Amino acid sequence: MPAPHRVVIAAFPGVELMDVTGPAEVFSVASRVLGADRPGYRVRLATVDGGELPTAGGLRLVSDLTLDEVDDRFDTLLVAGAIEFVDGAVEPVVDARVTAWLRAAAPRAARTGSICAGAHLLAAAGLLDGRRATTHWLTAARLAAEHPRVTVDPDPIFIRSGRVWTCAGVTSGLDLALAMVAEDHGREVALATARMMVMYVKRSGGQSQFSVPLSVQTQVQARTPADDRIDDICRWIADHLADDLSAEVLAERLHLSVRHFSRLFRRHTDTTPAAYVEAARVEAARRLLEESDCGLSEIAAASGLGSVETLHRSFQRRLRTTPAEYRRRFR
C-alpha cells in the first residue's frame, strides 16, 4: 500500500489550540473514512525545542519532534498562528525562529499552508509575495500594511494560491483541511469526513468569514439589545429564500405594520429588510456557484434572486464581480 500523506504542523508557545488540533482531527477522521486499505494521513507536530507546547488556552500539547529533526519526508507543511491583545490592540505573533525555518523548509513541501494568523509567519518568510492570501479578519489590515507584495483579501474562509494555502479565523482551519482532503481523495471523502465530524456544512473557500446573520450581529449587538422576533425572522428568511420576502410579507408574519416592522428591523440589524434579503440571497448564490454545476438561471431561481439579470446586478453591487468570474476564482 502507498505510504500515508505526511503532514507537519509547525507551532510555537502560545499558539491557538485549534490551529493545531482542528486540521489534525480532520486528517485523522479522513484516514478512518478511507479505511485500512487506502493511504490516509500521518500528522506530526514540530516545535523549535520539542517537548511540551503551551497553548493560548492554557492546555499543553506534546510535540513529536523539533523543527531541526524534520527531514525531507513530508508532503504538506502547515503553520499554526497566535494573536495577542496588547494594550487593547490586536497583535499577530510572529516567531522569528519558526519563520526562518519556514523559509528553508517550505520549498521541500508539495503544499504549504497557514492557519489563522499563521499567515503572518508565511508572509514574514516571503512565501506569500505575489500571491493572494487571507487571515483572521482582525489582523488582515495589519498583514496588508506590513507586506505590500501580498494581495490580502480579508473576506474568504480560505484561499489557495498555487501550492500555498491560507485561511481565516481558527475554525476555518477545518475548512482548509477538508479542502485538502478533497484535493487528495475527492469530494465524497471530504463530505464523509465532514459528516463524521458533525460539521454543519463543508464551507468552500470563497465563502465570507462573516455569514449575513453573523455580520449583522457583530455590527449591532454591542449597542442594541437582542430581539427574538427579529432573530426568528432572519432564520426564517434563510430557510425561504425563494419565497416572497417583501417587507409586507415579513411584517405580516410578525403581526406588525410594515412601517413598525421596517423600523424595528433596521434598529436591530442596521440595514433594511430588502437589503438583508438581497445579501442572504447573494450568499446562497455564492455557495451554489462554488459547490454545484447548476447554471446561472437555476442558481438565480434557487437563491430567490429570480432572474440571471438580477443575479448579475446583485453580484456587481455587492461583490464588484460577475457570477461567472466569481465561480472561476472560487470553484
Statement: residue 119 has pLDDT above 90 = yes
**Comparing C-alpha atoms, which of 106, 120, 114 is closest to residue 158?**
114
CB 315 within 8 A of CB 282: yes
CB environment 52-86: b (16+ within 10 A), e (fewer): ebebbeeeebebbeebeebeeebbbbbbbbbbeee
The grid coordinates listed for 24 are 489534525
CATH fold of the domain at 210-331? Arc Repressor Mutant, subunit A (1.10.10)
Q: What is the enclosing helix (H) or strand (E) of 65?
A: strand 65-66
Distance CA 279, CA 39 (A): 42
pLDDT level of residue 220 (50, 70, 90 thresholds): very low
Residue 290: per-residue pLDDT: 81
Phi then psi dihedrals of residue 152, to 5 deg: -90, 125
Long-range pairs for 54-58: beta carbons < 8 A, 24 or more residues apart: 54/13, 54/14, 55/14, 55/15, 55/16, 55/17, 55/20, 56/14, 56/15, 56/16, 56/17, 56/82, 56/83, 57/16, 57/17
Domain with CATH 3.40.50.880 in the chain: 5-196
Domain with CATH 1.10.10.60 in the chain: 210-331
Contact 318, 277 (CB under 8 A): no
Query: pLDDT higher for 90 or 226?
Result: 90
Distance CA 276, CA 40 (A): 43
Mean pLDDT over 110-123 rounds to: 97
Q: What is the dihedral of CA 58, 60, 61, 66, to 10 degrees?
A: 100
Distance CA 152, CA 172 (A): 16
- Between the CA atoms of 309, 315, 321 and 323, what dihedral angle is there, to the nearest 10 degrees? -60
pLDDT digits (tens, 9 = 90+) for 160-207: 999 999 999 878 999 999 999 999 999 889 989 998 998 855 555 555
CA distance 91 to 2: 42
Topology at the third CATH level for domain 5-196: Rossmann fold (3.40.50)
* pLDDT tens-digit series, residues 140-166: 999 999 999 999 998 888 999 999 999
Select from 166, 150, 76 the least CA-distant residue to 116.
166
Is pLDDT at 13 greater than 60 in this prediction? yes
At residue 320 the predicted structure's pLDDT band, cuts being 50, 70 and 90, is: confident
pLDDT (tens digit, 9 = 90+) per residue, 19-74? 999 999 999 999 999 998 899 999 999 999 999 999 999 999 999 999 999 987 88
Q: What is the mean pLDDT of the chain?
A: 89
